[in-house]
Amino acid sequence: MNDERTSTKQINNANSQRIPEMRDILNKGTILFLLVLLCSCTPIISSSSTSSNRSEIVSWAIELSTLEKKAKLLVDGIQPLMLTIVKRPPTASELSQLNDYSNNITDLYNQIIGMNVPKEARDIHSKYVDNYAKIADSARYYVLAIRENNVDYFNKSVASAQEANRIGTDAYYDFTDLLEKYSISCTEINYCE
């Protein structure tokens, strides 16, 4: 019986020494299992996040391209009037058209600042906001230059237009780079030139 007790004590001692080893092995195994599980889930999480980001960017890009088309129509529509006014003083109707143009540009500016912008597009969007602000400034100064026959306002209008072109060009290139990064085609956002 003493031999059995000695043998049981030896087994218990051996087990008590192995228990920390087993805990270490289980802990390491659990950690390894969790790492493997997390690593295998990461592409799924990342892919889902990228898909969500892409759809947000597509929605934003569609809205932005719609505003850009409206702006182009406004500018194209007002250019013949501007060319006419250069040759002679404007009529009351033409001044009213210029005011409408200025108000419509300001309305586009208000629309662009109210857009929902994805995180990845904030810097680009900020450039577009600055661009529209300069376009609105240019239109406002132009109306004042014509109405008051003031060269200083005309020079401010020209300077604002030049700054708008510079900012707009940067914004456009960044915009196309972002579309390329997310493999978004111009047909997908209805903005092919």
pLDDT tens across the length of the chain (193 residues): 555 555 545 545 544 555 555 445 444 443 433 333 333 333 333 344 466 799 999 999 999 999 999 999 998 988 899 888 888 889 999 999 999 999 999 999 999 999 999 999 999 999 999 999 999 999 999 999 999 999 999 999 999 999 999 999 999 999 999 999 999 999 999 988 7
In a domain, 143, yes or no: yes
| pTM beyond cutoff 0.85 | no
Instruction: Quote the number of domains for the chain.
Output: 1
140 assigned to some structural domain: yes
Task: Tell me the C-alpha distance between 165 and 132, whole Å.
Answer: 10
- Residue 154 is assigned to a structural domain of this protein: yes
Residue 134 lies in a domain: yes
Q: Is residue 42 part of a domain?
A: no
